[in-house]
Structure 1
């Protein structure tokens, strides 16, 4: 905003300066030219009067050359005096120096002198080029009473006018630049002062968007529109913070309060086992299973509520160590189901993640994979570090220079539509095994995004199944050691 305001001030000032200085420059140029022409006309009339007296007294040959030389020296130009027939009476320079491309032969045929010899009342003013220099030529008749005695022509170099005009234009340009510089300094200060409320609103909005607290913005500064916007933002931020706090409190409190009755319900169901007939044991087992499912759902809701309440602080996490530890923890359960669990991949090093997030991500992904994997199948945990090209150019392409964690199973897999909806809360794929809550992948996505990463579900490369790919950023510019292949297997 500051830049746009400053550009607006400068553009408006430049427009005003152009509208003022350009006409002023042309007016001065025209006035300076008219001043020089008027001065030359006055000088021509003075020489004409002197020539008239000298010719009438018969002293033209003695007086006129000195007068012409003196006048030419005073005005810095040239003086030419001829009689009525065009014969030369006096000149301040050689006659050849007075000739231009259109002036040759008898001076009586020259345009300015020809008009003066006819006794024209107005002087003939023209601009010619003599010797490569522009001149202003003024011709005046020499008369004595009604008798025409000759003509006087005075030429003044126009470079004097040009130099003065150029000097004025230079002063106008420098003055305009000085005004623009002053406007830039003053305008920058005004723009900063004007944009301060907007910048405060921007900072508060950014903090709110990043998950920070709703900061109240002062509404006493700036124009009325900005103050109204600040007041609206304060109300919106307060309402949003209240809604989020209410949502987090409800999810946390409801999840926490449900844990105790669910545990009591499961205990009572287990105590009924000895009193239930054998043919009704199936219904009892189903009730216990649903109770466990509700307990896991409550745990998922509580985990999400805690994630919303806690500040997202990413820390370096040893991904290799976490994967190895989760492999050891899950291996016995996979063995009981007759499923092969394999850990393989390259040394990946530390990654940035929310503390505890990687463990929960792996637990949910492995739980889902185990639930859908048929006996004698394989579930693999594959670590892939960034390639040398990705580490050298981490800004391209999107998602490059990230460590990839793949959890691949050989289950039925998902269609494209199902993969798009898999991260929705409480959504479960048609025909999914019993016991799921529909919160696992939603929690995995939340934890991955909170850790600055992303997750995608893709079809497995071969043999059906699903490939859950989690990408996390490496922790700092650490030196990655040579590739070290990890391969750990848990076989039934």
Structure 2
């Protein structure tokens, strides 16, 4: 924003300077040309009177001296002709004495007692200003004088004034730029502090509130409103985190006690009621897992996350070794394939929970004798591929909704495992999608960002326990 304000001020100043200096320079150029022409015309008239007197008195030998003194001082050229247009004297000119110039328009006009002034091309092709005056007494014309000056004498002065105007404009622009930069920094200072405060709030805690004491009144009010909102939001988040922590203790104990009491009823119940008792105990256990999963998801959503480089290959090998015995009990082969993935960006402990949840879901639907494949693909991609019944497109769209379970599902899941996985993947800067496989199974595809070996980001302290989210399945 500082750059935009600075460019706006400079653009406005440049527009004002152009509106003032261009007409001023144009008027000066016209005025200088007019003044120069009047001076040449006046000097030509004076010289014409002097030469006319010499011609009248027959002092033709004095003519070269008269015009030579003038032209040597002024850098001009002069030509004197008699009443027939024959050159009597020429100074600084390629015209020779005795040349007939009567046919030239300005000489012919002057011999008819009419002065002329104008511009034209000299013998060398350069622009000149000429003034041709008749040498006459009353109606008697004895000759004419042509006085020429190179136009560079006036154009040089015009160029100098244009250069001076340009320098003045540059100085004004520099001063405007300095003032505009100072003003823009003053205007945007609250925005910069607000941006830093927003970044802090995004990380979970506002430690430096934005400056509400400087800048325009509107921005001061915005900073004050942001501080109030951030403070209120922190209070709400702290209350929610406190509730999650308190509920995790208060809800577990009654559910555990209820399960124990139900199990103690078993010896005193009729054998026909044992099936209902077992179903009730299973529902209590499922309720306990659901409460634990909700609390785990709340902790994840309320915790500031900062991705850090994590070795995907090492985590995958560790979790595969942990799940292999359980897969063998279900007569499912667990295979790890693909090339080395290297380090990826992930929040602390996220990869373990992601792999655990996906493998647990895949094992739950994998028939005996099938293979569960964990594949690393190019570009920091992880595939968890099962050979189960798969999902129709409509179910794949809703699979990440909380508490959602497929209509034909018969397992005791809570519908929170995949939402937890999606939250962890998104917080790590990646994405997760579900795709069908040619054999009818499901391919859970996780894309993460590769991490350069030399870069580090601060961790946020996420727990590295893979069981925190696994109980929510």
Report the TM-score when normalising by structure 2: 0.87
> Which position in structure 2 is the counterpart of 1:129?
121
Cα-to-partner distance string for 1:267-289 (whole Å, 9 max, x where unaligned): 11111111111111111111111
Cα-to-partner distance string for 1:190-243 (whole Å, 9 max, x where unaligned): 222222112222222233334443752222221122223223322332333333
Residues 286 and 412, structure 2, Cα contact 8 Å, conserved in 1: yes
> Which position in structure 2 is the counterpart of 1:168?
161
SS of alignment partner, residue 107 of structure 1: coil
> Which position in structure 2 is the counterpart of 1:66?
65
SS of alignment partner, residue 108 of structure 1: coil
Q: Which stretches in structure 1 are left out of the alignment for 5+ residues?
A: 99-103, 387-399, 479-492
Distance across 2 between alignment mates of 1:71 and 1:321:
100
Q: Which stretches in structure 2 are left out of the alignment for 5+ residues?
A: 455-473
Q: What's the RMSD between the two structures over aligned residues?
A: 2.7
> Which position in structure 1 is the counterpart of 2:51?
51
Distance across 1 between alignment mates of 2:213 and 2:16:
34
The 5-angstrom pairing of residues 76-475 of structure 1 reads 76-93=75-92, 96=95, 106-120=100-114, 123-131=115-123, 132-213=125-206, 215-315=208-308, 317-382=310-375, 384=376, 386=378, 400=379, 402=380, 404-460=381-437, 462-474=438-450
Classify 1:438/1:124 alpha carbon distance in 2 versus 1 (closer, same or farther; 3 Å): same
Residues 87 and 96, structure 2, Cα contact 8 Å, conserved in 1: no
Classify 1:92/1:456 alpha carbon distance in 2 versus 1 (closer, same or farther; 3 Å): same
**1:178 Cα shift?**
3.3
Classify 1:343/1:427 alpha carbon distance in 2 versus 1 (closer, same or farther; 3 Å): same
SS of alignment partner, residue 369 of structure 2: coil
Classify 1:78/1:321 alpha carbon distance in 2 versus 1 (closer, same or farther; 3 Å): closer
**1:9 Cα shift?**
1.6
Distance across 1 between alignment mates of 2:96 and 2:197:
81
Distance across 1 between alignment mates of 2:309 and 2:79:
98
Q: State the aligned residue count.
A: 453
> Which position in structure 2 is the counterpart of 1:486?
none
Distance across 2 between alignment mates of 1:329 and 1:477:
27
Confirm whether residue 17 of structure 1 aligns to residue 17 of structure 2.
Answer: yes
Classify 1:420/1:244 alpha carbon distance in 2 versus 1 (closer, same or farther; 3 Å): farther
Distance across 2 between alignment mates of 1:89 and 1:323:
111
Report the TM-score when normalising by structure 1: 0.84
Distance across 2 between alignment mates of 1:333 and 1:406:
20
Distance across 1 between alignment mates of 2:327 and 2:274:
27
